Structure formats: C-alpha cells, structure tokens
Amino acid sequence: MNLAHAIHTSSSRIPPTGRTRAPRLAAAVVALLALIGGCFGYVRSSGWTVYTLHGHSMEPTITPGSLVVARTVRSSDLEVGDIAVFRVGWLEAESRVMAAHRIELLAWEGERVSIFTKGDGNAVSDPIPSVLGETALQAAFTVAGGATLLRLAQLAGLVCVAVAGYLALARRLVSAPRRACTAEGLS
C-alpha cells in the first residue's frame, strides 16, 4: 500500500469535527423555534387568545412569564373555580390591563354576569367584581416560560425570512449576466 492510498483511506474514517455540526445544530434550533412560532400563530388564528402573565398573583398555579391561552365561551358556561381572563375594572374605567384570576362567585343580572375573583397567590379577593357580557375568556391552558419561548420563536421567524431574502438576492446576483471588461471599457 502506498502512502497516498494510506492517507486517503485513513482520512475518510475521521469523524466530522464540531465545525460541521454547529451549522446543522443552529439550523435545527432555528427550525424548531420557527415551528413553535407557527404553532402559536395557528392558535391565534383559530380564535384563541394568548396573553403573557406578568404578575405574581396566580403563583404557584401560573408563574410570571407564562403564556395563558384563553378561549371565548358563553358567560353562562363559566363556573366557580374556572380561571377567567378579564379586563381589570378596578384600576380605571377604560383599563387595558388584563388579569387571569380564579372565579370565586358568579352574580347574574339579566344577561350580564359579575365575577368575583381572586388570584391563587393573593391573600384577599379582588376589590371589585368584573362585569362580563354574553361572552367571556376562559383560560384553557398555560405554557410555563412560554413568553420567552414565543419571543425566541418570533426572532427565529425573522431570521428565517432574512436568510431566505439573502439567499434569493445572492442567487440573483450569481445568475446575473456578466459583462466582459476590456481596455476600452465594458463590452
């Protein structure tokens, strides 16, 4: 066996280095995060609403940074013990702040229902009931740490769009007709 043959056969048995695995791993992570982002997009487009829980009032049941996925239900379907997602009325009349608290009591006035709520981690009930119309948001499930995961998935989606744009531009530049350069100028 000659030296060239020995080098060729021995080098073909060398396992790939970490340099070749890193791009594959990065691509897999970006693809996974994009898939997760697509799942959240599907959930939103299916009529479900996704909220990020920021406060500590529902600990230990729901931790800060969790995603609360809520579905629209008839107010008459709510029961004591359900977790409702509602606009916080005791902060100000036109509050945009949403809360997810457990229902302690339901009080009906015609078609409208007032819900008396309390966060699982709070010592006392919420100070003022929230009045709901015909429909309400009921927490269906939560994703612990989901807010961070969703941000990463959104970032992965942006990276995928940027890479696709870069590849399309690079392909266009590479396939563009080239002009020959002569001493007199472009031909």
CA 3 to each of CA 8, 9, 10, 11, 77: distance values in angstroms, whole numbers, following the listed order:
9, 10, 11, 12, 81
- pLDDT at residue 151, rounded to an integer: 72
Centroid of chain to Cα 115? 29
pTM of the predicted model as reported, rounded to 2 decimal places: 0.58
Q: What is the pLDDT of residues 73-131, one digit of tens each?
A: 888 899 999 999 887 765 555 566 788 899 999 998 877 888 999 999 999 999 888 88
- Total length of the chain: 187
Question: Structural domain boundaries of the chain?
Answer: 49-143
Fold of 49-143: Umud Fragment, subunit A (2.10.109)
